[in-house]
Structure 1
Amino acid sequence: MATGKSRRIKDLDTLKALGHPLRMKLYRALKVTGTATASQLADQVDEAVSLVSYHLRKLAAHGLIEEAATGGGDARERWWRPADAMISTRDEDFRDAPERAAVHAAVSRMHARQQGEMYESYLDTQSAWPGDWRNVAFSSEFMLSLTPEELRRLGDELNEVIGMWRARGQAARESGDVEGRENVAVHTYGFPFRT
């Protein structure tokens, strides 16, 4: 990654750019691979290279991804990487106008839908995974009674823990220690509800 920092998206145009379903899949694929070409990503998302290239340029125009040093192979191909270690959005940055709030809600719904699809895909293929992976995969739901400040702190602490594990995996990847490692998705939500 270009920086170890996280980026909070606050402008509507960048949010709209990320809000396209294919762009979000491409961004997620780059987060997993670190660097990739349009051809490699096209294979992963089963789309035409020209379409993937177009969407990668849109993500780059908004600073979400950037060109990376050539990863080997054909030097004529552009290599891409995420521009930041993490991106996030917050409702408070978009609630000042109905259009902004609607776009944020739509992008958040699409993101949640894609996360659900990822988990359902795992459930569909669960029996094909070795037992040691099946034994440690988890899905949890916790019902807590918190104040807004406590929920903020919980989110910060979870991000800190995930950041530690992300750094550990990145260091292992960079050192070539990939034996027994798989990509792992961890989805968490924290939101108020009433019964």
Structure 2
Amino acid sequence: MSSPDHRITDPARIRALAHPVRLELLDFLGEVEDATATQCAEHIDESVASCSFHLRMLHKHGFIERAESRGREKPWRVVKGGYDLRPEPDQPGSAIAVSEVASLFLTREAERIHTFLSQFQQVPPEWTDATTLTSSSFWATAEEAAQYCEDLRNLVERFDGRDEDPSQRPEGARQMRMFGAVNPDPEALR
């Protein structure tokens, strides 16, 4: 994404993401140009009424917007730019809200990784070589760790535009997922 991340510290807005259906909707809308509630329901196997409710909640909190109408259809699309959900020390409830969303996100990503690994024996060799599950430990100051986090977020910039414009995707390209967590060792916090 070429636009900068939107920093979100409002606990109510952060908690709006703390629902599995809403995260599924954001994932789906991030993969397509736009979609109606009916299309979303078909894709994520939810009722249209449930999808409509959750889409309105995502819209209310600024994560999605209305796309151009197609006749009577009123599709939705993701608001461009990433989201930086970090607790704001002076904002009551901010840390708890971020923790709730992060836990749900972590569970979803772990499920995706488990699904991939359960099919790993069927993955062609060129794609197994393009896959990694890495764990590292290192000593760093808060400033160095913050820069490392920023560097990780910036690594995907070399692929900007490929979501929106399929003609920019090289032949044989597949959608990839990157999940990273950088945090102090919990033992060190005691």
Scaled by the length of structure 2, the TM-score of the pair is 0.86
Query: Partner letter of residue 83 of structure 2?
Result: I
Q: Compare the two structures and name the one with the higher helix fraction.
A: 1
- Alignment-derived partner of residue 78 in structure 2: 82
Q: Which residue of 1 aligns with 2:98?
A: 104
Deviation at 1:177, TM superposition (A): 4.3
Gap change, CA 1:135 and 1:82, over 3 Å in 2: same
**How far did residue 44 of structure 1 move?**
2.4
> CA, structure 1 residues 171+111, in 2 after alignment: closer, same or farther (shift >3 Å)?
closer
| Equivalent position SS for 2:136 | coil
Could you list the per-position Cα deviations for residues 85-128 of structure 1 after superposition, in whole angstroms to 9, with x for gaps in the alignment?
A: 2112112x16643x443222112111111111111111122233
CA distance in 2, matches of 1:15, 1:164: 28
Task: Map Cα deviations across residues 113-162 of structure 1 (whole Å, 9 max, x no partner).
Answer: 11111111111222333332233111111111110000011111111111
| 1:170 counterpart SS class | coil
Residue number among 116, 122, 143 corresponding to 1:122 in the alignment: 116
1:1-195 to structure 2, matched below 5 A, reads 4-70=3-69, 75-91=71-87, 93=88, 96-97=91-92, 99-165=93-159, 167-170=160-163, 172-173=165-166, 175=167, 177=169, 179-193=171-185, 194=187
Distance across 1 between alignment mates of 2:74 and 2:60: 15
Task: Indicate how the Cα distance of structure 1 residues 78 and 144 shifts in structure 2: closer, same or farther if over 3 A, else same.
Answer: same
Aligned residues: 187
2:161–2:168 Cα contact (<8 Å) kept: no
Any idea what SS the aligned residue of 1:66 has? strand
TM-score (norm 1): 0.84
Where does the alignment leave 5 or more consecutive residues of structure 2 unmatched? none
One-letter amino acid of the structure 2 residue matched with residue 36 of structure 1: A
Q: Secondary structure of 1:191's partner?
A: coil
Q: 1:34 to 1:125 in 2, by over 3 A?
A: farther
Residues 164-186 of structure 1, C-alpha deviation per residue, up to 9 Å, x if partnerless? 22x0523652x274742222110
Provide structure 1 residue ranges, at least 5 long, that are not aligned to the other structure. none
Instruction: Provide the aligned C-alpha RMSD in A.
Output: 2.3
54 and 96 in structure 1: CA distance in 2 versus 1, 3 angstrom threshold: closer
Give the Cα–Cα distance (whole angstroms) in 2 for the partners of residues 183 and 65 of structure 1: 22
